[in-house]
Amino acid sequence: MTDKRITPGVIIASVVLLLSMSLTCHGAALAQEKEFKKFGFYSNEASSDGEHSDGYTLRLWTRHGSLFGLLKQHEGLIGDGPEGLLADIKYDKKTDKITFNARVDYCKGSNGLNWNIHFEGHITNKKVVGLLSSDAPSGEKQQVVFRRCCEDAPLFKDYATYETWKSDWLDLPNCN
């Protein structure tokens, strides 16, 4: 007859095996974690004729716990406006207050068409509301509301690294 009792050595070996399997799976999950996680796309772009548009699109990701993103200005042909990387982003999760600057440029054949934009406002899951100002010729301060949008856009996604994000966004002809 065989002794069918479980010995302490078998229990310890089983626990060690389960822990090592758990740590291996956790490590693999961390290795697959994306560096840039989508936070939200927001826009107030509007078109009356389907060919031209006005407004802005704000695209945000989180990177290492901070917001990161781009602001595109729409004025003229749809999809043909300047886009700039956000700078000096300050976001308070407790109050939902957000401020940022962006320099938007027409990078190719620009003839000096570039300006600085400053935004102060509040952000929620559904919209961004605030005061936008610019040093553009028509740069008066304006109250803006950007509504959450574009979640079906192919580029509304997480990115594994800065390089993959950059290849989709910063290598565009209308981006600085």
| CATH code at position 113 | 2.40.128
Does residue 3 sit within a domain? no
Residues 122-140, mean pLDDT to the nearest whole number: 86
Mean pLDDT across the chain, nearest whole number? 76
Does residue 133 sit within a domain? yes
Answer whether residue 165 shows pLDDT above 80: yes
Does residue 135 sit within a domain? yes
Answer whether residue 102 shows pLDDT above 60: yes
Q: What is the pTM of this model?
A: 0.71
Does residue 144 sit within a domain? yes
Write down the pLDDT at residue 54: 77
Residues 130-140, mean pLDDT to the nearest whole number: 81
Confidence at 42, pLDDT banded by 50, 70, 90: very high
Residues 14-32, mean pLDDT to the nearest whole number: 44
Q: Which residues of 71-97 are buried (b: 16+ CB within 10 A; e: fewer)?
A: bbbbeeeeeebbbbbbeebebeeeeee
* Residues linked to residue 84 through DSSP beta bridges, in sequence order: 71
The total number of structural domains that make up the chain? 1
Answer whether residue 155 shows pLDDT above 80: no
Residues 68-79, mean pLDDT to the nearest whole number: 76
Does residue 17 sit within a domain? no
Does residue 139 sit within a domain? yes
Write down the pLDDT at residue 96: 95
Does residue 28 sit within a domain? no
Inter-CA distances, 105 with 70, 83, 110, 143, 174, Å? 12, 6, 7, 22, 7
Write down the pLDDT at residue 29: 39
Domain of residue 73, residue span: 36-169
Does residue 5 sit within a domain? no
* 149 vs 20 pLDDT, higher one: 149
Residues 139-158, mean pLDDT to the nearest whole number: 85
